[in-house]
Structure 1
Amino acid sequence: MLNKLVIPFIFICGVVAFVSCEKDLPTYLEYKDYAYSSADENGGTWKPILIDEGAAINIGAPEDISSQSYQAEISSLKASMNEINTSQRKAIAYWGNNAVVRWNEIALELIAKYNLIPGPNDDGSYTLPNPNNPDGPPAFPFAHPPYASRALAYLSVAQFDGLITAWHYKYLYNRAAPYQQDVSITYAYEPNDIPSYPSDGAVLARVSNKVLSAMFPLEKEYLQKMEDEHLESLLLSGGNVPSDIVTGTTIGDEISEIALARAATDGMKNAQTPKAVSDSIKAAAFERFGWQWDNLEIPVRPVGLTPLFGKVRMWNVANVEDVRPIPPPALDSEEFKNDVEILKNYADNMTEEYRAIANFWQDGLGTYTPPGHWNRFANEFMVENKMNPLRSARTMAYLNMAVMDAGISCWDAKYYYHYPRPIQMIEGFKTIAGTPNFPSYTSGHSVFSAAASEVLAYIFPEKATLVRGWAEEAAISRVYGGIHWTFDATVGTDQGRDVAKYTIDVAKLDGAN
């Protein structure tokens, strides 16, 4: 359990050095194309998440390389490559040879753009974003942390299953890339021996466009533009012919349909409740425990943020009650009274170090949220370890499933216990991190970060001490900010670690190790 009083400043220095203080908004990760550390030839045998096996989607054999049709594709490709313009060269450089990174960055960009809380109307009432009227006002979605975690999970899981399928057929049919068929074709990236049919990049382009368009419906035109640019770059790089691309997009279509069918029935549409339901949840908590959280915003928002997110379908935990944390301290207990003094002491003796930590991990409105923060770390680690797209998609799928499950577990605890925040219980208390519109126990930052750090520690064991330290710092940052009790952070950290174990247990059995 983390130390609830002191976290060494070395952790924030390490984080700042790692991401160059660019975590609040999505940033373009500059990296040179690299030779993959492994081709993962057996990747088509790995266990997917949404489908039974990599061969579940039927893809026919490609044309033989000696066929007239294939040779025509090669000739057409060479002609197109001879006419590449400056804009196309920039696109080829941008997408690189690991587009999992690029599509994740696009998702983070959209999360930050839509992470804007709807304001009050002139009469003091509130109108919520409506998926049936995405133009609003207010525009749909409000990409708060639960929404962000869900969008990233569906994106990553669909990418992973799509690439497992692609890898299955790549090594079943074993058709080499165009630049390996014709020495006059110069490949834009580092060469590799991974077969080109079907195109893994085309799978990513199509499935990412489809999933993100469903999550951010006002961005369909932009996302289609990015898919088109990505697909063109796959051809002009010398890595694929059109038949590779067409087959890849077919896989992307089928996988995204399966992913979005799950999303349509996972319960998220009911997470933001009417006031009557929200009031009944609050009343039940008061009857159960004798306390309740009250929103102190002005004007008061009538409903807390997604009271039933804790009921959304989890990925790897069968029952959310299995990971529900212990009750928080009673309001007349010595533990609670001691925590009041701790919070007062921080507020009265705020140091530059504590303020810097609170600000660094804030991940508030207009940013890519705590889930996005950990995705950024994962992107850097994947490039550092020279992962191929399939191995990268696996990393992101397990990371984001664990983070979403952690968020569901956290929101279950928040509204089951409905525990008041420090600003509600300490007279005259002020925060330096705003006033979140949901109960205190447990801390979302703590639960999200602990779950993410455990998955990253599993996949990148050499980073285990580092990422676990970051998670503990993210947790205590919310105490420094004055919006959480120390037990929100300590119990939340344990909760996130417990939830992550379920996902890690699945990862250990998927055949990739």
Structure 2
Amino acid sequence: MVAFAFFSCEKDLPTYYEFQGYEFASVDPTGGNWKPILINSGADISLPTPSAPGSPAYLQEIEDLKEQVARMTEVETKAVTYWTQNPIIRWNEIALELVAKYNLIPGPNPDGSYTLPNPANPNGPPAFPFAHPPYAVRALAYLSVAQFDGLISAWHHKFAFNRDAPFVQDPSIKATYVGNIIPSYPSDGAVVASVSRQILTQMFPLEAEYLAEREAEHLRCLLLSGANVQSDIDAGRTIGQAISGIALARAASDGMRNAQAPKPVSDSIAQAALDRFGWEWINRELPQRPVGLTPLYGKVRMWSVDNVEQTRPIPPPAIGSPEYLADVAILKDFAANVTQERRRIANFWQDGLGTYTPPGHWNEFAKEFIVKYRLNPLRSARTFAYLNMAMMDGGISCWDAKYYYHYPRPIQVIDGFTTIAGTPNFPAYTSGHSVFSAAGAEVLAYIFPSEAQLVRGWAEEAAISRVYGGIHWTFDATVGTAQGIDVAGYTIEVARNDGAD
């Protein structure tokens, strides 16, 4: 069904698929009745009644389309093959590519001070954004939720107006893919192109020109594929623009702009933990940045959870307690016995700088399952939306725990201890990899139940990988896994009630 093309090492950039045939397992004619996330229903965004197939206006669109297809170049033919099978996958690949490109720690100034990336001055230095895991999963969540809502609206209008695709109306039009026959008005591809360009431009402002080029190419390919006339595309863009505005309005007020707190706030958080528990995390990276990564990310608005405190885990073991000392012994044993398999696991799940981060890793898994089970664009968007909502909520819950408990990492409190996986710039408890992975695995297990055992096994491996690397305590991983499962349950409850099952 599909051939694979690896443009780089899998963990550095996303894997690109070359589709050889992709007939949807279903077209979901009632998908327009599903419950969206940002809007109340698919009918919220209105569209004008399209021209009837036999009308002069529509017949002229058909003639214009045929003229364009007749002049299609070899380069355009390849582009059509790339874009028009499942555009959700294509834009997710682009998003992961940008995450990896911008997942670089801003360096120190010549005087040793640090300047934070600033969305008001994206050119910097340093360039905006630093696409660390909390930033990456938020970008992926807004992208996929907007795509999902936009396609619910598109499906609503498609099956309300029920205008056949041009290649169905006129058999002389050579269609790229004839196996997937769904109404053409509005164009679902145009919804995805418009939404994706606008959301990603907001998240990665230095890529505005590149993203505009990708959108223009995508929109032209929808016409050249024989699946849409221009009015289909224009209507799809109308939906995309409306949904993007709603999504970006939410993003502007979700609290992310305050997540990277200044040093006095960061210091007060550390002092509160010291007063409360008698310990504090101290950064051991070199060179040392003055504050931890996004101390107030735990206060960002969640998607499916009303109050982050309801997902806060139990306290970690007290320093010096029997449970703590037992974990010290475990970590010392792992450090003294770094087997080839443990190193392989630690490296595979590293997902560090220059990669698409742990949430991006789970987006890659989702993409593979989407292709395997031949999901249509609407169901593909639903998969990514719930996956990234759950992982973002999991990340918020995890960061709340990290800075509430402010627990030291092993390298800080075990004399002579070293790691094989670097030193992250934020507290230990709980493990972000564990929470992201468990939340992602639970959503994928729900949507693809036959893969449940596989993905849950991956989540367990991701969790223990951070212990093998010396970065985390075992309780960071085990409690983080339970935390991710707990948080994902809220998102899965939303999914169970959206009408898709």
Please report the TM-score for the alignment, with normalisation by the length of structure 1: 0.96
Cα shift at 1:328:
0.2
Q: What does residue 179 of structure 2 align with?
A: 191
Q: How does 1:45-444 map to 2 (within 5 A)?
A: 45-444=33-432
How far apart in 2 are the matches of 1:50 and 1:144? Answer: 25
1:10-25 equivalences under 5 Å are 22-25=10-13
Which position in structure 2 is the counterpart of 1:468?
Answer: 456
Contact 2:295 2:403 in 1 (8 A): yes
Cα deviation, 1:425-463, whole Å, max 9, x if unaligned, reads: 111111111000000000000000000000000000000
Q: How far apart are the structure 1 equivalents of 2:212 and 2:436?
A: 31
Percent of residue pairs bearing the same amino acid type? 70
Give distance in 1, aligned partners of 2:124 and 2:7.
Answer: 35
Which of 493, 498, 501 lines up with 2:486 in the alignment? 498
C-alpha contact (below 8 Å) 2:7/2:16 kept by paired residues: no
Structure 2 portions without partners, runs of 5+: 1-5
In structure 1, C-alpha distance between the alignment counterparts of 2:12 and 2:348, rounded to whole Å: 8
Please give the secondary structure, in 1, of the residue aligned with 2:16.
Answer: coil
Report the CA distance between 1:19 and its aligned residue: 13
CA distance, structure 2, for counterparts of residue 76 and residue 293 of structure 1 = 65
Displacement of 1:511 after TM fit? 0.3
Equivalent pair of 1:34/1:190 in contact (CA under 8 Å):
no
- The CA deviation at 1:299 is 2.9
Cα separation, 2, equivalents of 1:457 and 1:20: 28
Code of the aligned partner of 1:511: G
Deviations 1:58-93 (A, max 9, x none): 111100011101000000100110111122112111
User: Does the 8 A contact of 2:84 with 2:221 survive in 1?
Assistant: no
> Per-residue deviation at 1:96?
3.4
After superposition, give the CA deviation of every residue in 1:165-202 in whole Å (9 maximum; x if it has no partner). Answer: 00000000000000000010111024323100000000
Instruction: State the Cα deviation string for residues 293-349 of structure 1 (Å, max 9, x = none).
Output: 000123321110000000000000000000000000000111100111111111111
Q: Distance in 2 between matches of 1:505 and 1:431?
A: 39
Contact 1:33 1:96 in 2 (8 A): no
Whether 2:20 is the aligned partner of 1:36: answer: no
State the Cα deviation string for residues 21-74 of structure 1 (Å, max 9, x = none).
723322212332311110100000000000000000111110001110100000
Pick from 407, 431, 448 the counterpart of residue 436 of structure 2: 448
Contact between 1:213 and 1:223, CA under 8 Å: does it hold in 2? yes
Contact 1:33 1:190 in 2 (8 A): no
**Quick check: 1:270–1:308 contact (8 Å CA) kept in 2?**
yes
Q: Give the superposition deviation at 1:358.
A: 0.2
Return the offset for 1:20. Answer: 11
Q: What CA distance in whole angstroms lies between the structure 1 residues aligned with 2:345 and 2:385? A: 28
Write out per-residue CA displacement over residues 129-176 of structure 1, whole angstroms, 9 at most, x where no aligned residue: 001100001100000000001000000000000000000000000000
What code does the residue aligned with 1:161 have? D
Change (3 A) 1:108 1:20: closer
Task: Confirm or deny: 8 A CA contact 1:197 1:247 kept in the other structure.
Answer: yes
Q: Which amino acid aligns with 1:376?
A: E
Answer 1 or 2: higher relative contact order, Cα 8 Å, separation at least 6.
1
Structure 1 residue ranges (4+ consecutive) displaced by more than 4 angstroms after TM superposition: 18-21
Aligned residues: 496
Amino acid at match of 1:346: F
Q: What one-letter code is carried by the residue in structure 2 that aligns with 1:124?
A: G
2:473 aligned with 1:485? yes
Contact 1:419 1:441 in 2 (8 A): yes
- Partner SS state of residue 29, structure 1: strand
Q: Secondary structure at the match of 1:447?
A: helix
Distance 1:220 1:19, change over 3 A: closer
Aligned-pair RMSD on alpha carbons? 1.2
**Deviations for 1:344-370, whole angstroms, at most 9, x for unmatched residues?**
111111000000000000000000000
Q: Could you tell me whether the CA contact under 8 Å between 1:31 and 1:383 is conserved in 2? A: no
**Distance in 2 between residues matched to 1:154 and 1:44, nearest whole Å:** 20
SS of residue in 1 equivalent to 2:21 = coil
Structure 1 alignment gaps of length 5 or more: 1-17
